[in-house]
Amino acid sequence: MQLISENRAFGGRHCRYRHAAETTNCEMTFAVYLPPFASKENPVPVLYWLSGLTCTDENFMQKAGAMKMAAELGMAIVAPDTSPRGEGVADDDNQAYDMGLGAGFYVNATQAPWSSHYQMYDYITKELPALVEANLPVTGEKAISGHSMGGHGALVIGLRNPEQYVSVSAFSPISNPSDCPWGKKALGGYLGNDESAWSEYDASVLLAQKQHYIPLLVEQGRADQFLEEQLKPQALINAAQKSDTQLTLNMHEGYDHSYFFITSFIDEHLQFHASHLGLS
């Protein structure tokens, strides 16, 4: 791990790191917020935050206003990048924002040219937490959250790995990627045309298949410009009802897809995760 930058914030530290990642076969960058008093003698639990299309590790840390509450709760936050990057990493031929760089969709790609680098699911669930836990003052207790494409990633990863995360939350998630333009393009490109392979990365499909006991919290703005065509939160509600899984999904009048929405409710999400991480 190479330290890129470090800044003091709310008595803790915001750090950016770069490392050579085996899963994605390139250098990856991620950000960490460590609350005050986090140390080898006093390790703290971690919330992993997955960002949305076009974002990097920097968006959430700089815009969400999460560090003050994280400092008060004693919670670390880890924010990875949204895709592999660098020379030789495939990108969309037309440089579209919803495929390729900045749009990894948190899947393990099986199709060329994506498969040689776009192994984001393994990076998030295996390599990154192992690296963080080996090098930083954190425990193995983890929660996961995210926004939009990252909300999709958080829900999928949490539902598939309930033994690894104590709680899951999402803001404006792509709830049913098998049935929306963003998801069809990304899953088709990364995984191929066999739609049966897409189901492992579709939160609504996973949620409907069996009853889940991991705590789930979702926020959605009713004024979100992507609500009807891309996000489809009703699919999550239907899936939870089908499997008899407890899901809290809050709809908010007047809120859109931006970080103004996230910063309005991020404290409630941090407190939600803190309650399951044993911090409150």
Active site residues: 148, 224, 257
Spatial neighbors of 121 by CB under 8 A, at least 6 apart, are 106, 107, 108, 157, 201
Start-to-end CA span in the chain (Å): 31
What residues pair up with 20 in beta bridges, in sequence order? 27
Q: Among the residues of the chain, which ranges form H helices? A: 58-63, 67-73, 120-122, 128-135, 149-160, 181-191, 203-209, 233-243, 259-276
Handedness of CA 99, 102, 104, 105 (dihedral sign): negative
Q: What are the distances in angstroms from CA 237 to CA 150, 171, 231, 233?
A: 19, 15, 12, 7
Pairing relationship of beta strands 26-34 and 12-21 according to DSSP bridges: antiparallel
Joined together, the tokens standing for residue 162 give: 């309930």
Q: What tokens does 11 get?
A: 């008595």
Say if strands 76-80 and 44-50 run parallel, antiparallel, or are unpaired.
parallel
